[in-house]
Structure 1
Amino acid sequence: IIIGSLDIIAGVFDCPVIYPIPRHMETENLVALTMEQLQQILLPDNPSEDTLFVAELLKGKIAESTSKDIAVKYFNQVNSQENAIVLGLCTEYEKDCPAKVKPQKEGYILHADKLTVYLTGADKNGLIYGVETVLSFLENGFIPVCRINDFPRMQFRGFHTGLPAREEIPFFKRFIKYVLAPMGYNTIFLEFAGGMRFDRHPKITEMWMEGNQKAKKGEWPAFPHGSMVAGGSVLEKSEVTDIVAYARSYGLEVIPEVQSLSHVQYITVAYPEIAEIAEETKAKTKYDLNKEDIPPSEFYAHSYCAAQEKSYEIIYDIIDEIVEVVKPVEYVHMGHDEVYQIGICPVCKDKDPADLLAKHINRMHKYLADKNLKMMMWGDMLHDVTRYKTPPAIDKIPKDIVMLDFIWYFHFDKDLEDRLLNHGFKVIMGNMYSSHYPRYESRILKDGMIGAQVSTWCRFDEYTLGYMGKIYDVLYSANMMWNDTYQSDARLIYDKILVDMIPKLRSKIHGSTYPTMYKTKKSVPLRLPYPQPAACIPK
């Protein structure tokens, strides 16, 4: 019996599939424009830089897939708009566009009729997303007669990862170009830790590199977040600037994550005098790694003291250097998750942990506000379903801080975000692993839910992302963030779409064609071994 393929019920489609699925789409069983007929990309006479970028993006991706060189021209250079894709911002060619309504923010309107396709974007992001829809159609060799009015559901559609290792920067850029932008993401939460060279604190850079190198040799325990951020190495500021600029060119805002108060081993290993360590623990300062298997949480100090002024001097310097490089438009993510050690060192052991947490959050908030920046943070320390002693801090901090709520998987039976929302905070679904987010359809409708983000928590390379299931998570979650008709009980249908997409997508992010995409591939019989006699099987 040879099984050629299996179909999912309702997973066989009678029209071209666009993913993420557009919010409003009407197609007819008629061809508007074939790839063979497509001759030119037409732009308004005075296009913006954004329109020029998107036109070149469309031209380049068509050339990659078909080797066809499409000319980019302007209205005043042609007498006819036939055999063309006409694209521009809604402010650039209103009179020439058949669309009778303007696209919404980050949205686009696609109107395809006989021999001409009109694409109107509300902004650069809208144009990019519209171009990706055009490219999805062209993978089938034609664009059907259709009318699409598409725009995203969520304000923040985020992807969280650490700085890539130097050797993975080309892959990082391909991931932006072929995954994040086409899937409608608009935000990268970029964790820094010690992965960028800090000029004001060279000791941090020195100890970050030493710690990661010794960990690789087995001389020290694994450095926390070491492989995740820059692969345990250090990027120069110019390299980070280049990464940020590339992301922004594809419509992705970069929000730097500055780990502060907790997950600050990159600081405490360089400045142990500010480490939040109980007095009795300090007595044991040396470990024999030949005899003891020391976990990172014991070897490295997880938090710094929130009562020491030196802690603030150092974290302010780190904020300054990261902000100078990234130049965030609106937000900085200040961490504050999993503060396992607080109020235990000799300096602050008599202070209320909730007061210490609130003090640190408030000082971070003010420091950013003085730079005309807003703050985001993880929200777990404010929840009352943990053993943390800090939940009362929720009433002592500014309500304009955006909370990334990731402990939803602590209690599948509870809508934990309600505590944050009821206290007046805006909430982003943190670590939104699509495979098991319960009651998504009802929870996203709550006032104050403004977005979601998918996290990697692993080294940024193709093998690790694939092995850890992160590529799937990014793809599946994209539709949840984009389309307001998403249904969790239709998972198998969405999975069928992704299964069909992944071979081409993996080839693109890999930088060369995957074997499954070879034109010369063929099926061969699989010869299974003959069954052995029972007597040959050992008891």
Structure 2
Amino acid sequence: MFFEPQFWRKEQQVTLSDQASVEGVRGYSRTLLEELIAERGMQDGSILRLRLVEGLPDDLQVEAGEETYALVITAEEAILYGASARALIYAAQTLRQMSGHEGIFTGRLEDAPDCAFRGYRVYLPGPDSFQDFYKMVDTIVYYKYNYISLEIGGAMEYRRHPEINAAWKEFAADTHRYSGRTGEIQHAYPWAKNSIHTDNGEGEILTQDQVRELIAYCRERGLEVYPEVPLLSHSDYICLAHPELREREEDPYPDTYCPSNPDTYRIVFDILEEVIEVFRPKIVNIGHDEYYTMCLCPRCREKKPEEVYAADIIKIHDFLAERGIRTMMWGDKLLPVVTKDRTYGGAGDDRISKKGLHIHFPPTFKCQQLLPKDILMAHWYFSFGLQYDFVYHTHGYEMIYGNMAAERVEYWRERRTFGAKGGFCSNWGSNHPEYMQRNCQYLHLIFGAFALWSKTYSNARQQEILNKTFEEAFHLHYGNLDEKPYIVVSHTTELNIPYKVFYDGIFIEDEVYHMGYYKVTYTDGTETKLEVKYGTNIASSAIFCSLGDNKEGFNPTSLDESALGEVSYSTIPFRKNGKTWYKTAFLNPYPEKTIRAVEYLPDRPEKVEILSVECS
């Protein structure tokens, strides 16, 4: 099992009967157990009853909390205890994880999370992609995440302001004409601009009822759902419909509104009211990251940037507080980050870009002392060093890590001790499994789940947990290889395509990554083809691999650059004979037949090598 329970008295292995009954409380935990019986119950299984109890046993060995759960298992019965409905879901997921890995054991298991906030931040799906969204939600619930954030922007219907949706859809159509169009817009001007989020909703507009459907699916599974409403910066969806509100007059694609214009808040508060009506949230993330365009218009130019920034946040914070809603925001503009190469975040910027453009915006870090202390800060500059955590701690803000890649967070245990409350991974692209894999989402989510849940995780265990993460991602994708008919291939290629992410308008272009096919021939003459696709089920032999028994060392920050993360979920990379190989699996369409030969049919000249082929 991937997780390591705080207390587990493990005794004898037993099996679940396909005739087992589920008793006790109703809800999603019961659904999970019923599915488990249908999927893994055995005709001669000994466990005949699964019982759900809301509450905890008296002689608990771990600290009791809202998400604490326990399992007491005998040869005939499994009793699942949970301090809450969500905790019972975790208990049921644990039984599923046991059954799907090494099996169910009699004895007693107790567990509770280390971090209170374990989240995932995503875009809305397109109208035709709800099933991908639901699969993603089921995945994060399986790994015991408890928060999910949905970015709204212009991708949800605004009944008070349909002009916002109309302008947003036109903008999205422009940026989706071809891969990379968003980058052309973002980097075409002699000023810093925000990244473009027209991947949200896949360029379409969801109705409010459709968004409610997504929210209901999440909440049924124990997730706390909250919206992200990009305001001030990343407000292109507002400014494109209302250019009279833009801060930079000459920007044809404005992304920042004027926070000194009273008409701005008529629109902002209308947007928030509609979002609140749909979500009924306890938290709203108001964005405010990457604020570059400031103090340019006649209303703002004589004001101090940090005061303009703070005044906008306070207005929105107070509007939400009046409705009993807590404000969250991205916290980069509080941080005066200085490196040997340049400045970031609240330190401002004044430099010549790689394209020869003069990039300038003033510092805002003095806003640290001006904002309400009950704001929850999302800290995504963790890679710049532990010292920046203390900006939040010393100024009295609660802090969680945003855009979290736990395998790249140094001093994890120390940071938890100093006050970090948890964190959330972020997906800035599609929820489609291929995009999630190639954007390293499964890697981040699974490793992050362990770090956020387990009190035993520290940086000393990075290599160990990384190995487990690749194995777990592979298991998530394929299950147990001996339980389904797979053709398992270990292969590699001399082709080496540099790694890149597929979001902000960058799409996976099949013609770039398609390499060829394996032609599988059976003894009766039947043939089938299996696609070989770079970055999806194969990668370069030259990529450094530190997984498994390799002793060359581990550099967590190199994972994305080395492209190993890109092929996690569909492969397990390993090193042999001076090369990196990739174990992958293809579903065998004719498991009843005997394979005579497997031949690679190339559609491009780069060589593909096969180390082994096995059938499960």
TM-score (norm 1): 0.80
Q: 1:423 aligns with which of 390, 395, 404?
A: 395
2:87: which partner in 1?
Answer: 126
1:83 aligns with 2:48: yes
For residues 370-410 of structure 1, the C-alpha deviation after alignment (integer angstroms, 9 at most, x for no partner) is: 1111101011111122224211112111100110111122x
What is the match of residue 69 of structure 2? Answer: 108
The offset of 1:513, in angstroms, is: 9.2
The unaligned stretches of length 5 or more in structure 1 are 1-16, 71-80, 283-297, 530-539
CA distance in 1, matches of 2:73, 2:424: 33
- Indicate whether 1:406 and 2:406 are aligned: no
- 8 A Cα contact 1:99 1:111, kept in partner: no
What is the CA deviation profile of residues 255-307 of structure 1, one whole-angstrom value per residue up to 9, with x for unaligned ones?
Answer: 101100000111111111111116xxx2xxxxxxxxxxxxxxx5421210110
Residue 215 of structure 1: how far off its partner (Å): 2.3
Q: 1:173 and 1:368 mapped to 2: Cα distance?
A: 29
CA-to-partner distance for each residue in 1:66-102, whole Å, 9 max, x for gaps?
A: 69899xxxxxxxxxx96322222117xx6xx986888
Whether the aligned pair in 2 keeps the contact of 1:205 and 1:234 (CA below 8 Å) is: yes
Report the counterpart of residue 367 of structure 2 in structure 1.
393
What one-letter code is carried by the residue in structure 1 that aligns with 2:462?
Answer: R
Letter in 1 for 2:74: D
Partner deviation per Cα, 1:397-455 (whole Å, 9 max, x = no partner): 1100110111122x24x4311011100000011111123111112111113x2120101
Q: Which amino acid aligns with 1:34?
A: T
Closer, same or farther: CA 34–317 of 1 in aligned 2, 3 Å = same
With over 3 angstroms needed to count, the CA separation of the structure-2 counterparts of 1:237 and 1:122, relative to structure 1, is: same
Amino acid of the residue matched to residue 41 of structure 1?
S
Write the mapping of 1:368-383 to structure 2, written as runs, cut at 5 A.
Answer: 368-383=320-335
Letter in 2 for 1:83: L
Residue 493, structure 1, aligned to residue 476, structure 2: no
Give the structure 1 partner of residue 122 of structure 2.
161
User: Which residue number in structure 2 is paired with residue 363 of structure 1?
Assistant: 315
1:336 aligns with 2:288: yes
1:523, 1:445 → 2: CA distance? 56
Does the 8 Å CA contact 2:443/2:470 hold for their aligned counterparts? Answer: no
1:189-338 residue pairs with structure 2 within 5 A? Answer: 189-217=149-177, 221-222=181-182, 224-277=195-248, 282=250, 299-328=252-281, 330-338=282-290
Indicate the percent of aligned positions where both proteins have the same amino acid: 27
Kindly report which structure 2 residues correspond to 1:23-42, keeping only aligned pairs within 5 A, or say none: 23-28=6-11, 30-31=12-13, 33-35=14-16, 37=17, 39-42=19-22
Does 1:56 pair with 2:31? Answer: yes
Deviation at 1:465, TM superposition (A): 0.9
- Distance in 1 between the 2:170 and 2:147 partners? 32
In the TM superposition, 1:450-461 aligns within 5 A as 450-461=421-432
* Inter-CA distance 59–352: structure 2 relative to 1 (3 Å threshold): same
Aligned to 2:145: 185
5+ long unaligned stretches in structure 2:
186-194, 338-346, 349-361, 488-584, 602-616
Per chain length, whose mean CA-contact separation is higher, i.e. which structure has more relative contact order (CA < 8 Å, sep 6+)?
1
- Name the CA distance, whole Å, in 2 between partners of 1:254 and 1:362: 23
Amino acid paired to 2:158: F
* Residues 42-63 of structure 1: CA deviation (Å, up to 9, x unaligned): 423xx3xxx3431122112432
Contact 2:113 2:453 in 1 (8 A): yes
| Cα drift, residue 148 of structure 1 | 1.3
Q: Structure 1 residues 192 and 507 mapped into 2: Cα distance closer, same or farther (>3 Å)?
A: farther
Does the CA contact (< 8 Å) of 2:407 and 2:466 recur in 1?
no
SS in 1 for 2:319: helix
Q: Do the aligned partners of 1:90 and 1:103 also contact (CA within 8 Å) in 2?
A: no
Matched letter for residue 415 of structure 1? Q
| Cα distance change of structure 1 residues 303 and 471 upon mapping to structure 2, 3 Å threshold | same
Relative to structure 1, the CA distance from residue 525 to residue 446 in structure 2 (aligned partners, 3 Å threshold; closer, same or farther) is farther
Deviation at 1:463, TM superposition (A): 1.4
The structure 2 residue matched to 1:472, chosen from 443, 449, 457, is 443
1:415–1:443: 8 Å Cα contact kept in structure 2?
A: no
- Which residue in 2 is equivalent to 1:292? none
**Which is worse superposed, 497-506 or 515-524?**
515-524
| Aligned residue number for residue 581 of structure 2 | none
Cα RMSD, aligned residues only: 2.9
- The one-letter code of the counterpart of 1:193 is G
C-alpha separation in 2, matches of 1:148 and 1:435: 27
Tell me the SS of whatever aligns to 1:128.
Answer: helix
Structure 1 counterpart of 2:276, one-letter code: V
Letter aligned with residue 461 of structure 1? H
Q: Distance in 2 between matches of 1:101 and 1:304?
A: 50
Aligned residue type for 2:279: V
Change (3 A) 1:503 1:408: closer
User: 2:15 is matched by which residue type in structure 1?
Assistant: T
Partner secondary structure for residue 181 of structure 1: helix
SS in 2 for 1:339: coil
After superposition, the Cα gap between the structure-2 partners of 1:275 and 1:441, relative to the gap in structure 1 and judged at 3 Å, is same
Higher fraction of helix = 1
- Quick one: distance in 1 between partners of 2:117 and 2:129? 26
Output the CA distance in 2 between the equivalents of 1:102 and 1:390. 42
User: In proportion to residue count, which structure has more strand?
Assistant: 2
Flag the 1:140–1:433 CA change in 2: closer, same or farther, 3 A. Answer: closer
In structure 1, distance between residues paired with 2:168 and 2:257: 16
Question: Cα gap change, 1:220/1:415 in structure 2, threshold over 3 Å: closer, same or farther?
Answer: closer
